Amino acid sequence: MTVVSPDNRRTRREFPPGFAWGTATAAYQIEGAVTEGGRTPSIWDTFSHTPGKVANGDTGDIALDHYRRFREDIRLMADLGLTSYRFSISWPRVQPTGRGPAAERGLDFYRELVDELLSHGITPVATLYHWDLPQELETPPTGGSAAGGGWPSRDTAYRFADYAGLAAEALGDRVSTWTTLNEPWCSAFLGYGAGVHAPGRTDPADALRAAHHLNLGHGLAVGALRAALPASAQLAVSLNLHVVRPLSERPEDLEAVRRIDAVGNRIWTGPMLKGRYDEDLLQDTAHLVDWDALVHEGDLAEISRPIDLLGLNYYNPTVVSASAPGQALPRDDGHGGGTASPWPGAEDVAFHRANDDLTAMDWPIDPTGLSDCLLAMHREFGLPLLVSENGAAFQDTVAPDGTVHDPERTAYLRGHLDAVADAIAAGADVRGYFLWSLLDNFEWAYGYDKRFGIVHVDYDTLVRTPKSSAHWYAGVIRRGGLD
Ligand code: IFM
């Protein structure tokens, strides 16, 4: 909503009452304590310990030691006035082998975390899967009878639903908003297609199988959550939908948009929200997988179980075109490079920068993509929406007096919150904004090189220092809007 003061000099962007002002994090990126309480390795422990996979050989072994310092971190959140916090549960911490009973010590960590949040008046939002698949579900121990094979294996979807049920039984009395998967596109296509994320496989057919089983895992988990949680629980999924724009209006470039939209976006929203895979997606990828064999009878009904909220993770738009004959394709479409394509069936699409105003990830800054995406999802599905991630990495420096001044991040956040307000003003039902991220953290294949936090972390001492963007965000929350 826009409020113009009588003298017309100031314009205020207000947000609806009850709007969730949050930050988001993920277990492997912050927790550390990777062997504590019986936790076993996830595919990310294995991947980060594989030479050459992560910048500087960085791992999440210690990360920010949030596992031990979570009370301090929640104090910081409370000081900033956050009303909500989105965290992820580490699957190998609460169900170490990915099957069988839960590990109570692992669950206790999350019980304490949530109790601490609640005692500070911060509403917890739990994400079940932010990429840390128990390694045993990818590679079963030698001699064992378990299936393994990771997400390309159908069994993993059922394992995920069991884990979701365990987590909900343990935490359902104190957590009422749940997200099943975070950015399944990254799990399937960066993990099994491009190989730049764990488990580092590069097989386009397996990437598509992983996509279907992530969808199935989501639907089965929604069923398990509904069975374990009170009727008032709010269930969501967080998708990094690609805001795809054509380089030109040439039919070939529009066709490139269609292809990326199919395998980047509609591969999730189709089955989850409409109960179908679009025919063009099936055709684009028919030479890679046998969809009739992959999608069993009843799968689509399972996957499209109703959810209550749609979470959108937005960072930047994507500009695409058809490739010119003989043109070397830019493989680095903002997801860490790699020589294999993360776009099965659309490998020959060329990627271009939307503009040259870049974050430290080389991602172009364009808040209009966020309002466009929110409005498109509102119009197509009519669901209440969350911005479940949005933020930016910049090269922050610590001043001699110990402060960290990050005006670029503040400008980025201001622009994107303004875009959220635009979408709300145009009718989208946006219920909250979760800034990525609370703290600088382990940025996957980039290790600790890229800082997304509004709170600076000194990786030698683990001392946390709120940056100027954190103070700015606290002011926005206090005022309930932007000036
Ligand atoms: O750090 C990641 C997060 O884990 C998933 N979404 C994008 C963020 C920035 O790359």
SS3 for 5?
coil
**φ, ψ at 21 (rounded to 5°):** -100, 105
As a whole number of angstroms, the distance between CA 153 and CA 99 comes to 15
Instruction: State the pLDDT at residue 14.
Output: 87
- Taking the centre of ligand 1 as the mean of its atom positions, its distance from the CA of residue 131, in whole angstroms, is 11
Most distant CA atoms of the chain, gap in Å = 77
Mutation pick for ligand 1 pocket among 452, 454, 457 (CB with most ligand atoms within 8 Å): 452
C-alpha triplet 30, 18, 392: angle, nearest 5°: 35
Residue 283's CB is within 10 A of a number of other CB atoms, namely 12
- Taking the centre of ligand 1 as the mean of its atom positions, its distance from the CA of residue 167, in whole angstroms, is 23
Instruction: State the pLDDT at residue 1.
Output: 47
- pTM of model > 0.85: yes
Tokens of 332: 């680095």
Q: Tokens 């301090």 correspond to what residue?
A: 72
Instruction: Spell out the domain ranges in the chain.
Output: 2-482
DSSP assignment string, 280-337: HHHHHTTTT--HHHHS-TTHHHHHT---SEEEEE---EEEEEEPPTTPPP---SSS--
Q: How distant, in Å, are the alpha carbons of 32, 46, 94, 450 from that of 42?
A: 12, 7, 12, 22
- What is the CATH architecture assignment of 2-482? Alpha-Beta Barrel (3.20)
As a whole number of angstroms, the distance between CA 341 and CA 323 comes to 14
Atom of ligand 1 at shortest range from CA of 436: 8
Mutation pick for ligand 1 pocket among 444, 451, 454 (CB with most ligand atoms within 8 Å): 444
Q: Which residues line ligand 1 (CB under 6 A)?
A: 26, 29, 183, 313, 389, 436, 443, 452
- Taking the centre of ligand 1 as the mean of its atom positions, its distance from the CA of residue 443, in whole angstroms, is 7
Nearest CA to ligand 1 atom 4: 26
As a whole number of angstroms, the distance between CA 462 and CA 328 comes to 43
SS3 of 191-254? HHHHCCCCCCCCCHHHHHHHHHHHHHHHHHHHHHHHHHCCCCCEEEEEECCCEEEECCCCHHHH
As a whole number of angstroms, the distance between CA 208 and CA 291 comes to 9
Mean pLDDT of each 10-residue bin along the chain, 483 residues long? 49 91 99 97 98 97 98 98 98 96 98 98 99 95 78 98 98 98 98 97 98 99 98 98 97 98 98 98 98 98 98 97 68 63 95 94 97 98 98 98 98 98 97 98 98 98 98 97 91
Nearest CA to ligand 1 atom 10: 443
As a whole number of angstroms, the distance between CA 362 and CA 53 comes to 20
Tokens of 346: 């659309």
Active site residues per annotation: 183, 389
- Taking the centre of ligand 1 as the mean of its atom positions, its distance from the CA of residue 394, in whole angstroms, is 14
Q: Tokens 């009727």 correspond to what residue?
A: 231
